[in-house]
Amino acid sequence: MKNKAYKYTSNMKNLKPTILAILMVFLSFSEGFSQRKKSNAPVFSEVVYEGKDQVYIDNPLNEGEFYNPLLQGCYPDPAITRKGDDYFMVVSSFVMFPGVPIFHSKDLVNWTQIGHVLDRKSQLKVQDAAIAMGVFAPDIKYNPYNDTFYMITTQFAGDFGNIVVKTKDPFQGWSDPIKMKFDGIDPGIFFDDNGKAYVVHNDAPNRGEERYDGHRVIKIWEYDLENDQVVAGTDKIIVDGGVDPSKNPIWIEAPHLYKKDGMYYLMCAEGGTGGNHSEVIFKSDNPMGPFIPAPSNPILTQRYFGNNRNNKVDWAGHADLVLGPDDKYYGVFLGIRPNDKNRVNTGRETFILPVDWSGEWPVFENGLIPMEPKLKMPAGVIENKTGQDGFFPNGNFVYTEKFDSENLDFRWIGLRGPREDFIEFTKNGLQINPFNVNIKEVKPTSTLFYRQQHKKFEFNMTMDYQPQSEKDLAGIVCAQSEAFNYVFGITKVGNDYMLLLQRTEAKGRGRDRKVTSEILASTKIDLSKTISLQVKADGDNYEFGYSTDGNTFKNLGGQVSGDILSTNVAGGFTGNLIGLYATTANDALPQY
């Protein structure tokens, strides 16, 4: 055995140079293969987004004021909770990945985004969901009796349905989802001061009892804190239809339960998340009801005013209440700021108003008159720091991203899958390794998105890119959904590099629905110089341009309509998402 061992060792020593040589060739080949795979990957070195809305120019802030909305762009369906001096707020995210943005504040004015509640694949399974599906209407609540935060929501994807996740510390991440054993949408969780817990949610009426289209009910369940599950058999309908069932109210939803002065208050959205949207309130001496509506409902809406008012805010509703730092109540809610053609390209945004609860019923202060673009800070709040020192900006602002840190800003999101699956930081900027997926497919795309936050804005980006074939394309995409978008990118046709602008939209409904794409303009482009691409808008008018010197932009395609980027044209619930896009599944082939 000793001789055999020696012989084996000796032979291995003689083979070492050969093995090393083969290994070096293999590694060299692998490295070369990797480089070839990435040779069609664009590298983005800078993005500059600038908001220029006239309302903020006309209404500069005075001392002690801050702007409404708090969160501009597609940050809808806000819910809020408080632990001590800390406030946490979450919003809907649909198929954006990571999901459920979470914000922190000490004063309700200055907010930082601390991450996302659903930030890994085990929590968020939206890879095959259309953009109008995914995560809806999250609720966040702190339970002081077990020192735990709960986020409960509906995830229309991944066979999830209604789910709850938990944490002791929102700064440190959340548990995997626990699937709830009830149907319906918009769950809200409530912790009573006697240690009991309840879940309320929107649902369809009992079978055979639906009286009209849009007829919905609010249900309540007891919640078992030990097993994190509703208690079977405890469900009860506590609102049937809405405030006045004789008027066939539609879409009673987004319920939140509160307790004040020994009474239980149920606040809900009513009227649907559109022009008839509103917030209504009910009261009971028992969480299981019966609940009596306030005589002064609605307590918040913008539906009673003309379309021609200045600085129009509309669709107000879907609210949540919290006690502020001045011991006064405040309500966060969604609203929209439509442009001059009543388009909703910035999507549904998060607003805030003080709430007068000095009497029997809470009422949003100035929530039943046309809303103003700014309001007074809560008493005792010393400084408005929005846009400074890491606090989330609002009003008009400039955001510059050089991609020189691997800590990517939370404002950048993927679609249906993690950003980390396609981005790579290099010494020259952010590289997007393209998927063989087109923006029109219901799959994870290799696109890094930023929300449009102003009606008037500019978005400029600089990239280094050389497509290898007509299947390669990189540039900017403006997407309301997979069926409504503009692609402004560079591809290769024959031996020429081409810049093109493509418009995609869906027409018709049901079986007659067809998605069509049209190339609006194209031009040859010289890629020996650094290329900058731009999209800018003024209301409904969008323009796309390019530059080879980083300063002077040349328009391509003239002025185009932002109609397909509007929620009330394309449908769904998001706003326009501006993406850094790369694909090896390009289908836009310009003729020249």
Catalytic residues: 77, 253
For residue 38, which phi and psi values (nearest 5 degrees)? -100, 0
For residues 81 and 149, the answer to whether their CB atoms sit within 8 Å is: yes
532 within 8 A of 553, measured Cβ to Cβ: yes
**Element of type H or E holding 24:** helix 2-38
DSSP collapsed to 3 states, 405-474: CCCCCCCCEEECCCHHHCEEEECCEEEECCECCCCCCCCCEEEEEEECCCCEEEEEEEEECCCCCCCCEE
Burial of 340 (C-beta count, 10 Å sphere; 0-12/13-18/19+)? exposed
- Per the CB < 8 A criterion, the answer to whether 231 and 197 are in contact is no
Residues linked to residue 519 through DSSP beta bridges, in sequence order = 502
In sequence order, what E strands does 337-397 have? Answer: 349-356, 363-364, 374-376
Residue 256, classified by CB atoms within 10 Å of its CB into exposed (0-12), middle (13-18) or buried (19+), is buried
How far apart are alpha carbons 82 and 79 in whole angstroms?
Answer: 11
Measured CA to CA, the distance from residue 580 to residue 564 in angstroms comes to: 19
Q: In residues, how long is the chain? A: 592
d(CA 216, CA 245): 11
DSSP label at 158? T
- The CA distance from 94 to 479, in Å, is 14
Q: Which two tokens stand for residue 567?
A: 């929620």
103 three-state secondary structure: strand
CA 235 to chain centre: 31
> What is the DSSP secondary-structure string of 40-70?
T--EEEEEEEEE--HHHHHSPPPTTEEES-S
Bridge partner residues of 479 (DSSP): 485, 577
Q: Say whether 218 sits in a helix, a strand or coil.
A: strand
CB 241 within 8 A of CB 231: no
Q: Collapsing DSSP states into helix, strand and coil, what is residue 545?
A: strand
Residue 190 corresponds to which tokens in the numbers above?
A: 């409530």
How many Å apart are CA 478 and CA 309, to the nearest integer? 28
Q: Are 576 and 565 a contacting pair, CB within 8 Å?
A: yes
Number of CB atoms found within 10 A of residue 328's CB? 15
235, 236, 237, 238 alpha-carbon torsion, rounded to 10°:
-120
Tokens of 293: 């509506």
